[in-house]
Amino acid sequence: MTAPYYITTPIYYVNDKPHIGHAYTTIACDVLARFKRLDGYEVKFLSGTDEHGQKVAKAAADNDLDPIELCDKNSNNFRELLATLNISNDDFIRTTEQRHKSACQALWRKLSDKGHIYMGKYSGWYAVRDEAYYDEAELTQSPSGDHLAPTGAVVEWMEEETYFFDLSKWQDKLLAFYDSNPDFIGPQSRFNEVYSFVKGGLKDISISRATFSWGIPVPGETKHVMYVWIDALTNYLTALGYPTLKDDYAKFWPVCHHMVGKDIIRFHCVYWPAFLMAANLMPPKKVYAHGWWTVEGQKMSKSLGNAIDPNHMVAEYGLDQMRFFLMREVPFGNDGDFSEAAISRRINGELANELGNLAQRVLSFIAKNLDGVLPEARDLTTEDKDLLNSCHSLVVLCRESMDRQAFHEVIESIWSVVRMANVYVDMQAPWVLKKTNIRRMETVLYILVEATRHIAILMQPFTPQAMSILLDQLSVPDDDRMFTSLGEGSALKSGIKLPVPHGVFPRYIAKSEERTR
């Protein structure tokens, strides 16, 4: 039986245009989903848009639109972005869909029936930008006198009658859950952060709003809509058919993995497991929080107008080049800085010079000197065996790093073989062997093709389009591109004809350089 795997992106607020930060989470999930599929898992991969709440209502009003008009338009931007980024999601959820409304109301009823919801009066600080409540102790003051949340969002004092969830009762159960599931939150630093937050004590949270109506109505209520986060988090269950707990729920919920940015960890690691436990459901298996991107050293902001549009990035650098850069540049979990210098270094230094050049050198040499026919490998030397052994053991290393969401380590392991293969070409010098020892030249070329095959199969999750072209150039049949085809068992047969090769990773020439040429 194939093992299931469920991976989710956060659902994106539709008040904003997609930027590099949204692309980052989504690409990371796509890499995981593709890796797991290639490794034989049955994957369900969910993304979507978060369409209710005060922030979206305000954005619609600012644009003289009905909220749903704004949602339809902007949700589509995110859906299109997924296509542009070659994302392999199986479902796209919108929180304004009927299936979601039913799921949220069912969850609410369950919490209410079990006595976890009560009516009370809320007074405290709320940040519309974050759609989050903050404690007074967490706030700072801006030079203009505004109160600011730790995220920099302006908070306002709110007083209203709302429904509450009895979060304070869940402190011990949450701590016990973290203790018995030390891998629940990654990386470790975020685990510690959440743990000490919960240890510090929890207050009941307000989960409804009556001052605006753009939300899912609280069942049996005319005035209150649900707090946007209880609505948003439930999307992960809606997509599995909740409240009818059928096959998808039984199969995928126990292996659910949420990928989120570091700013929304409290919602996913504290509120969400508490809601679920209160409804007698299992918390998700894992939440991984990644870092944030700045641009040329600066925080992205509307006022600076420096948010990077992923569509422009794709047009400028190429899709696979951008995907590679985002997964390669910083250890996943840390913050990163996007700059033109950094991405062109990665494209030219690694994709073009190291991987692209390796493949092109080997394949064009075979095309020119052997009429494109894959030669035979005979009498392997220690160097040949070393390179092949490194290829054969690569998947184990990659799997281990991928299970810790250490994307940069996966690429680093693959790259150690790319570099090893480049050293091997230089040392074996097939262009010299061509004049001195054809038999040996053939062996060297065969070994290099096998090394390239391993690299291309393992790089598919990161740079799927380029690797599909490269695997075509290696004449690897579609059915032999899964990880089960790594190793000697599915090695290419000598005597096959390889198509005429062409480079897969061109060098990037910056616009500024182009002008000075």
Q: In Å, how far are 392, 395, 458, 489, 498 from 486, measured between CA atoms? A: 7, 8, 9, 7, 19
Q: How far is the CB of 23 from ligand MSP (least distance, A)?
A: 9
24 binds ligand MSP (CB under 6 A): yes
C-alpha span between 198 and 221 (Å, rounded): 31
Query: Which listed residue (10, 67, 273, 501) binds ligand MSP by CB under 6 A?
Result: 10
Site mask for ligand MSP (CB under 6 A), range 448-487, x = bound: ----------------------------------------
**Stretch binding ligand MSP (CB under 6 A), from 18-26, 34-42, 413-421, 486-494:** 18-26
Site mask for ligand MSP (CB under 6 A), range 37-56, x = bound: -------------x------
Q: How far is the CB of 21 from ligand MSP (least distance, A)?
A: 2
Q: How far is the CB of 227 from ligand MSP (least distance, A)?
A: 12
Query: Which listed residue (261, 331, 372, 503) binds ligand MSP by CB under 6 A?
Result: 261
C-alpha span between 17 and 38 (Å, rounded): 32
102 or 369: whose CB is closer to ligand MSP? 102
Query: Which listed residue (11, 270, 327, 451) binds ligand MSP by CB under 6 A?
Result: 11
Q: In Å, how far are 46, 281, 386, 418 from 440, measured between CA atoms? A: 50, 63, 16, 21
Q: Total number of residues binding ligand MSP (CB under 6 A)?
A: 20
Strand residues in 233-309 grouped as ranges (E): 256-261, 286-290, 293-295
25 binds ligand MSP (CB under 6 A): yes
263 binds ligand MSP (CB under 6 A): yes
Q: Which two tokens mark 499?
A: 């198509």
Q: Which residues contact 56 (CB under 8 A, 6 or more apart)?
A: 13, 14, 15, 50, 67, 70, 71, 214
Q: Which residue is nearest to ligand MSP (CB)?
A: 261
**DSSP state for residue 479 in the 8-state scheme:** G
**Stretch binding ligand MSP (CB under 6 A), from 5-13, 201-209, 422-430, 433-441:** 5-13
12 binds ligand MSP (CB under 6 A): yes
442 binds ligand MSP (CB under 6 A): no
Query: Which listed residue (61, 158, 210, 300) binds ligand MSP by CB under 6 A?
Result: 300
275 binds ligand MSP (CB under 6 A): no
Contact 216/167 with Cβ under 8 angstroms? no
Considering only residues 162 through 191, tell me which ones interact with ligand MSP, judged by CB under 6 A. Answer: none
Coil, strand or helix: which one is 6? strand
13 binds ligand MSP (CB under 6 A): yes
**Stretch binding ligand MSP (CB under 6 A), from 7-15, 27-35, 105-113, 161-169:** 7-15
Q: Which two tokens mark 203?
A: 């207050």
Coil, strand or helix: which one is 196? helix
Q: How far is the CB of 386 from ligand MSP (least distance, A)?
A: 40
C-alpha span between 270 and 284 (Å, rounded): 11
Site mask for ligand MSP (CB under 6 A), range 207-246, x = bound: -------------------------xx-x-----------
C-alpha span between 145 and 357 (Å, rounded): 57
405 or 413: whose CB is closer to ligand MSP? 405
Phi and psi at residue 45, to the nearest 5°: -130, 120
264 binds ligand MSP (CB under 6 A): yes
Contact 333/187 with Cβ under 8 angstroms? yes
Phi and psi at residue 219, to the nearest 5°: -55, 135
Residue 191 CB-density burial (10 A; 0-12 exposed, 13-18 middle, 19+ buried):
buried
Query: Which listed residue (165, 242, 288, 293) binds ligand MSP by CB under 6 A?
Result: 293
298 or 416: whose CB is closer to ligand MSP? 298
Query: Which listed residue (82, 260, 269, 456) binds ligand MSP by CB under 6 A?
Result: 260
Contact 98/68 with Cβ under 8 angstroms? no
Q: Which residues contact 434 (CB under 8 A, 6 or more apart)?
A: 369, 441
333 or 430: whose CB is closer to ligand MSP? 333
128 binds ligand MSP (CB under 6 A): no
C-alpha span between 321 and 349 (Å, rounded): 12
Q: Which two tokens mark 272?
A: 């969400």
User: Could you identify the residue written with the tokens 């480079």?
Assistant: 503
Contact 56/212 with Cβ under 8 angstroms? no
Helix pair 464-473, 438-459: axis angle to 10 deg: 150
Coil, strand or helix: which one is 415? helix
Phi and psi at residue 442, to the nearest 5°: -65, -40
**Stretch binding ligand MSP (CB under 6 A), from 19-27, 244-252, 310-318, 368-376:** 19-27
107 binds ligand MSP (CB under 6 A): no
Phi and psi at residue 334, to the nearest 5°: -90, 165
**Beta pairing class for 132-134 and 117-127:** antiparallel
Q: How far is the CB of 215 from ligand MSP (least distance, A)?
A: 13
Q: How far is the CB of 381 from ligand MSP (least distance, A)?
A: 47
**Stretch binding ligand MSP (CB under 6 A), from 4-12, 105-113, 311-319, 474-482:** 4-12
**Stretch binding ligand MSP (CB under 6 A), from 6-14, 148-156, 178-186, 323-331:** 6-14
Query: Which listed residue (5, 7, 21, 463) binds ligand MSP by CB under 6 A?
Result: 21
Give the residues lining the site for ligand MSP (CB under 6 A). Answer: 10-13, 16, 21-22, 24-25, 50, 232-233, 235, 260-261, 263-264, 292-293, 300
